[in-house]
Copies of this chain bind each other. A is one copy, B any other.
Amino acid sequence: MKKFINSVDTLLDESLRGFALAHADILRFNADPRYLARTSPRPPGKVALISGGGSGHEPLHGGFVGLGMLDAACPGQVFTSPTPDQMMAAAQAVDNGGGVLFIVKNYAGDVMNFEIAAEMLDGPHESLLVHDDVSIPEHQGMGRRGVAGTTLVEKIVGAAAEAGYDLAACKALGEKVVHATASMGVALTSCTVPALGRPTFDIGEDEMELGVGIHGEKGRERAPLASAAEIVETLAQTIFDELKPGPGQQALLHVNGFGGTPLMELYLLYELARQYFSGRGVDITRSLVGNFTTSLDMAGASITLTLLDEETTRLWDAPVHTAALRWGV
A residues near B (Cβ < 8 Å) are 2-6, 11-12, 14-19, 21-23, 55-56, 58-59, 63, 78, 188-189, 205, 208, 225, 227-229, 231, 259-272, 274, 287, 289, 291, 294, 296-297, 299, 301, 326-329
Contacts and interface: CB of A to CB of B under 8 A. Distances in A.
A297 to B, nearest CB: 6
B228 A4 contact: yes
Given A6-B227, A268-B18, A59 B263 contact: yes
Contacts of A225: 2
Contacts of A229: 6
A272 B2 contact: no
Number of copies: 2
Contact of A299 (B270, B294, B297): B297
A3 B188 contact: yes
A4 B264 CA distance: 9
7 contacts: A4-B266, A5-B268, A15-B271, A18-B271, A18-B274, A22-B270, A260-B260
A229 B259 CA distance: 23
Contacts of A274: 18, 21
Given A21-B270, A287-B21, A289-B22, A265 B299 contact: no
A118 B2 CA distance: 43
A299 B261 CA distance: 11
A281 to B, nearest CB: 17
Given A2-B225, A56-B262, A262-B56, A268 B328 contact: no
Given A15-B268, A18-B271, 17 more contacts: A3-B188, A3-B265, A4-B228, A4-B265, A5-B227, A6-B227, A6-B229, A11-B265, A15-B267, A16-B267, A17-B271, A18-B267, A18-B274, A21-B270, A58-B263, A58-B264, A263-B294
A212 to B, nearest CB: 13
Nearest to A60: B263
A117 to B, nearest CB: 24
B189 A2 contact: yes
Q: Sort A-B residue pairs by CB-CB distance and give the 5 closest, nearest first.
A: A18-B271, A18-B267, A58-B263, A2-B188, A18-B270
Nearest to A205: B2
Contact of A22 (B11, B260, B262, B267): B267
